[in-house]
Amino acid sequence: MENEAVSRNFIEQIIDKDLAEGRCETVCTRFPPEPNGYLHIGHAKSILLNYGLAQEYHGKFNMRFDDTNPTKEKEEFVDSIKADIEWLGADWEDRLFFASDYFDQMYEAAVKLIKKGKAYVCDLTPEQIREYRGTLTEPGKESPYRSRSVEENLELFENMKNGVYKDGEKVLRAKINMASPNINMRDPIIYRVAHMTHHRTKDAWCIYPMYDFAHPIEDAIEGITHSICTLEFEDHRPLYDWVVRELEYPHPPKQIEFAKLYLTNVVTGKRYIKKLVEEGIVDGWDDPRLVSIAALRRRGFTPSSIKKFVELCGVSKSNSSVDYAMLEYCIREDLKLSAPRVMAILDPIKLVIDNYPEGQTEELEVDNNLENPELGKRTVPFSREVLIEREDFMEVPPKKYRRLYPGNEVRLMNAYFVTCTGFEKDEDGNVTVVHCTYDPESRGGNSPDGRKVRGTIHWVDAASAIRAEVRLYENIIDESKGVYNEDGSLNLNPNSLTILPDCYVEPSLKDARIYDSFQFVRNGFFCVDAKDSTDEKKVFNRIVSLKSSYKLPS
């Protein structure tokens, strides 16, 4: 038990103490995204942390959209976020909420603050409010409208709600302390006029609450016990606590901040991704070169690999960056036992076995994954003509080259020993066909006389192979130059996507469905693309290469 206590993260320790002291009887957490873009890998940490805590303490997990800013929010983003969270396995059961569900209660909460003398309508312009706010070293100045009577404030606030004023003409501010060392407590704006159509409430409202006011109210209404958020909200916690205290909620939620998840050399900023999408540099928010959750799903990452990654990153109070290679390590570990190993040729040339009977085809039994016998076996067809990788033949090989060259014998994986006897070239001098003979006694890739061959190459049967498009991805950022140029633009990698339109895969992949993952022998892990792959044209995305020099930090 002592070791277990030491290993618990600081949030678990806080919750343990709250339960032990009776501050709460059960645990209720939430994930509260604003529907103004697609979620990225950093959000996955928050989702899994909040859901994991609810599971650990046999509590509840709420899903809530903080839709208080209609200028940037869309139903498209709502749908994408729900799909991401469901894919990650975080189950909100019947507890799907929207901030807009509580607009009436938020309005009444603002009225309550006005009646308590804790809020006032202010006519200062946005520029004047900034000027009056002061600096980190100088206190702010009180607004000349701060002393308005309760009755006047109630009337003006109702007029704001009724559409009497233009955007920016008036705001409702909390009356706290303009000399506070925390700028967030210097009479923050809690309501603003915004004549915008909301994606859910349409034109019912022309005033909208600010996030810092809405969020604690939502948490309190839903009975959230622990409001887990990222470190940038640490300075906002006094305002969070002020709101729930002044509104006299009987069971105030507790805000706890943790460090964000930062990945090296990736793009997560919504405005940058929006620009990449609009300029056609990527084919959408789910382009596999991005690290949105939708992009990672389309690339071929699995929920379990994301969970493993988040676990390895841990929970802390200190910001730090994690190497993208750790994420790749997690998907390799996840797929190496679960993904079938199949043969695919990405840069094909034909291999003709001249002494193999013409017109004959045989079925060879092969293991789906030698490291996981539970995946069983399959059969692959083999005949006189097969396709091999162009790099597996050289007319004049360098030293230690163990693949095909004139006079050399190699093993065709799971099939036969073959010896190169010649080759054909086109008029440009490119090798188009390689000729071999085979040893009929070496079926399965073993020689009865015990001779050994040093090279093994993979292949697909030319007659039955399925043509496919393969996409090879690299980081969209040129890692040698960093993420940003001096002018703030992105350092893009011109080689981030390579499309190979004329690849061939074995016929067992004919019925592969979107998101199905495979290890292409010697080429990496691949999955069926969810956007462009069809029954008529298979498209495979490379998830990750087979090997990496990355090692987990000790």
DSSP string of 48-93?
HHHHHHHHHTT-EEEEEE----TTT--HHHHHHHHHHHHHHT---T
The upper half-sphere exposure of residue 396, i.e. CA atoms within 13 Å in the direction of its Cβ, equals 0
Q: Which residue has the higher pLDDT, 487 or 191?
A: 191
For the segment 199-216, the average pLDDT, to the nearest whole number, is 97
For the segment 413-429, the average pLDDT, to the nearest whole number, is 96
Q: How many helices (H) and strands (E) does the chain have?
A: 13, 27
For the segment 436-459, the average pLDDT, to the nearest whole number, is 90
Alpha carbons 140 and 146: distance in angstroms, whole number: 13
Give 554's pLDDT tier (boundaries 50, 70, 90).
low
Residue 540: name the closest of 507, 509, 508 by CA.
Answer: 509
Give pLDDT, residue 121.
98
For the segment 81-94, the average pLDDT, to the nearest whole number, is 98
Rounded to 10 degrees, the C-alpha dihedral 462/463/466/472 comes to 10
Task: Provide, rounded to the nearest whole percent, the portion of the chain with pLDDT above 90.
Answer: 88
Scanning 89-178, the segments in alpha helix (DSSP H) are 103-115, 126-133, 150-161
Give 288's pLDDT tier (boundaries 50, 70, 90).
very high
Give pLDDT, residue 234.
97
Please give the single-letter amino acid code of residue 235: D
DSSP H or E stretch at residue 520: strand 517-520
| Beta strand pairing call for 361-367 and 344-345 | unpaired
Q: What is the 3-state secondary structure (H, E, C) of 360-371?
A: CEEEEEEECCCC
Residue written as token pair 């004959």: 360
What token pair was written down for 460? 């697909």
Give 3's pLDDT tier (boundaries 50, 70, 90).
very low
Q: What is the mean pLDDT of the chain?
A: 95
Q: Is 287 helix (H, G, I), strand (E, B) or coil?
A: coil
For the segment 425-448, the average pLDDT, to the nearest whole number, is 93
For the segment 39-48, the average pLDDT, to the nearest whole number, is 96
Distance of CA 119 to the CA centre of its chain: 40
Neighbours of 519 (CB within 10 A): 22
φ/ψ of residue 328, rounded to 5? -65, -40
Give pLDDT, residue 1.
37
For the segment 456-470, the average pLDDT, to the nearest whole number, is 98
Residue 5 has pLDDT above 50, yes or no: no
Residue 2 has pLDDT above 50, yes or no: no
User: Each residue of 241-284: pLDDT tens digit?
Assistant: 999 999 999 999 999 999 999 998 898 888 889 899 999 999 99
Q: Is 268 helix (H, G, I), strand (E, B) or coil?
A: coil
Give pLDDT, residue 518.
98
User: Each residue of 328-372: pLDDT tens digit?
Assistant: 999 999 999 999 999 999 999 999 999 999 999 999 999 999 999
Give pLDDT, residue 4.
45
For the segment 176-194, the average pLDDT, to the nearest whole number, is 98
CA terminus-to-terminus distance, the chain: 24
Query: What is the DSSP annotation of 427-480?
Result: TTS-EEEEEEEE-GGGTTT--TT----S-EE--EETTTPEEEEEEEE--SB-TT
